[in-house]
């Protein structure tokens, strides 16, 4: 439990005067805002403020800054590394009421939204325009949270991550000032790229209150498929060959046999309990057919079974919903257990080696840990299904996870492909970045000298001193 800030009562009194009943100190509300979907335990803020505008966020931060009280942004709460935990207490700013789609420009293929807009909400709104926003992390995350964690997901292999799909941001700084990091032009060479600085900053440098996004035309034709392999090596090699051949597959996901078994039970599918690829192709009717034929030939060369194809929207939705529900399917393997999800990413040429060695670790362990991944860009997850109250299970998960991270880094990869650092990966920052962590700490110190913005995240303590 964080030690209570000496001026927190004064701050809460001022915020209550500003916001009325939109400043809450109720225990249930605070607990809800002190934990995401990770394995970390609740660390509740001292109060929760429900903001409705950029100007309100600015006013809240100005009050907190004057008393050096921590501020933590919160929206959907679907992050996976303890990003929203109030490790030093303070004020959680809930952005869910800031959920307006402010502008859509079909002719320019872009839009501007507030941070509380959800991914599915945006695409439902865009449907009649013939456009869509492709970044799909699985959870119905908020756009602000996706920007703050540099999210990606199943479509990243073709459309890129949040980093590639954000044109500009509006941000409230740690002193309450409001800035725009760019404009709607598709490119600019004017000064430092502040947009990229705030994408993935996890609320440690300011709070994002508007996001301008790239949009894409809904493809003329979409085809999805599943294909199973007798071993995981064949599945991974098929992915590598597909990417190296430049086939513009939209989605290419890997589920190992443990995860397939879990998905079959949870989502009522009947896939062979073998390593399986989920694929999707976008384009014209002719290009989709050509892509599918090319990938089919590659997969057959690596021992694949028959492809199960569908172009029906309902069937595709069911298939991808099952993929998105993989975490819940994994948890269902052990009722009452919790999920600890990891997410390394390596160069595509090292993917087979990394997965092979990881599966060997799992074969020698007593833990249940399905493997699933966005393997088209070298990113995969282990889903440890553990009982947090069991020290032996926690220690074993920590051991395997450490080996996985160190393995990925030794292959010139990263400790996190998309989940972010938060609390869970902070101890690997020096191992991955070396002296560059001190540069990050200097940026943090320059922009947030009192360390009030989501303290305890990204920057290791000794680098922040």
For domain 101-217, is the CATH number 3.40.630.30? no
The residue extents of the domains of the chain are 8-96, 101-217, 221-420, 425-465
Predicted pLDDT of residue 310: 86
Q: Which residues of the chain have pLDDT under 50?
A: none
Give Cα separations from 312 to 84, 266, 309 (angstroms): 39, 22, 9
| pLDDT computed for residue 187 by the predictor | 87
Q: How large is the greatest C-alpha to C-alpha distance in the chain, in angstroms?
A: 69
As a whole number of angstroms, the distance between CA 355 and CA 353 comes to 6
What does the pLDDT read at residue 463?
62
Say how far apart CA 118 and CA 98 lie, in whole Å.
Answer: 11
Looking at residue 461, its pLDDT comes to: 75
CATH class of 8-96: alpha beta
Complete edge-to-edge strand list for the sheet that includes strand 178-180: 101-105, 110-113, 207-214, 166-172, 178-180
pLDDT at 190: 93
pTM: 0.94
In the prediction, which pLDDT does 273 show? 96
The pLDDT value recorded for residue 266 is 96
Residue 246: what pLDDT? 93
Question: Which structure tokens are listed for 302?
Answer: 């690596």
Asked if 143 and 113 count as a contact pair (C-beta separation under 8 A), the reply is yes
Q: Same fold for the domain at 101-217 and the one at 221-420?
A: no
CATH, domain range 221-420: 3.40.462.10
CA 277, 282, 285: angle at the middle one, nearest 5? 115
Of 283, 242, 275, the residue nearest 378 (C-alpha): 242
Identify whether the C-beta of residue 414 lies closer than 8 Å to the C-beta of residue 444: no
């Amino acid at each position: 439990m964080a030690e209570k800030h000496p001026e927190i009562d004064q701050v809460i009194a001022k915020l209550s005067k500003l916001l009325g009943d939109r400043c809450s100190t109720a225990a249930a509300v605070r607990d809800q805002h002190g934990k995401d979907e990770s394995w970390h335990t609740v660390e509740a803020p001292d109060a929760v403020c429900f903001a409705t505008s950029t100007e309100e966020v600015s006013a809240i931060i100005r009050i907190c800054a004057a008393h050096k009280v921590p501020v933590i942004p919160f929206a959907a709460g679907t992050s996976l590394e303890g990003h929203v935990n109030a490790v030093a207490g303070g004020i959680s700013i809930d952005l869910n009421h800031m959920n307006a789609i402010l502008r859509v420009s079909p002719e320019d293929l872009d839009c501007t939204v507030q941070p509380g807009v959800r991914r599915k909400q945006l695409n439902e709104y865009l449907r009649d325009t013939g456009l869509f926003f492709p970044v799909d992390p699985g959870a119905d995350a908020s756009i602000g949270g996706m920007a703050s964690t540099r999210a990606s997901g199943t479509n990243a292999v073709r459309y890129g991550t949040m980093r590639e799909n954000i044109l500009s941001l509006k941000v409230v700084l740690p002193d309450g000032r409001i800035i725009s990091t760019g404009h709607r032009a598709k490119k600019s060479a004017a000064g430092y790229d502040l947009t990229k600085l705030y994408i993935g900053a996890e609320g440690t440098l300011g709070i994002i209150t508007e996001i301008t996004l790239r949009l894409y035309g809904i493809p003329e034709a979409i085809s999805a498929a599943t294909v199973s392999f007798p071993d995981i090596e064949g599945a991974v090699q098929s992915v590598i060959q597909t990417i190296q051949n430049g086939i513009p597959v939209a989605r290419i996901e890997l589920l190992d046999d443990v995860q397939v078994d879990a998905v079959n039970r949870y989502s009522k599918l009947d896939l062979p309990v073998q390593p399986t690829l989920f694929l999707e192709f976008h384009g014209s009717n002719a290009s989709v057919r050509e892509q599918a034929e090319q990938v089919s030939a590659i997969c057959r060369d690596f021992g694949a079974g028959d492809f199960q194809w569908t172009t029906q929207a309902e069937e595709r939705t069911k298939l991808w919903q099952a993929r998105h529900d993989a975490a819940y399917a994994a948890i269902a393997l052990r009722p009452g257990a919790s999920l600890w999800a990891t997410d390394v990413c390596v160069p595509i040429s090292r993917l087979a080696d990394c997965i092979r060695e990881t599966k060997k670790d799992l074969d020698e362990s007593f833990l249940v840990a399905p493997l699933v991944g966005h393997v088209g860009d070298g990113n995969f997850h282990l889903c440890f299904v553990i009982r947090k109250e069991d020290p032996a299970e926690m220690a074993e998960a920590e051991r395997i996870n450490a080996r996985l991270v160190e393995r990925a880094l030794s292959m010139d990869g990263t400790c996190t492909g998309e989940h972010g650092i938060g609390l869970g990966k902070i101890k690997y920052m020096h191992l991955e970045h070396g002296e560059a962590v001190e540069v990050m700490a200097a940026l943090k110190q320059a922009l947030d000298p009192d360390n009030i913005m989501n303290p305890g995240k990204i920057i290791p303590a000794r680098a922040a001193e």
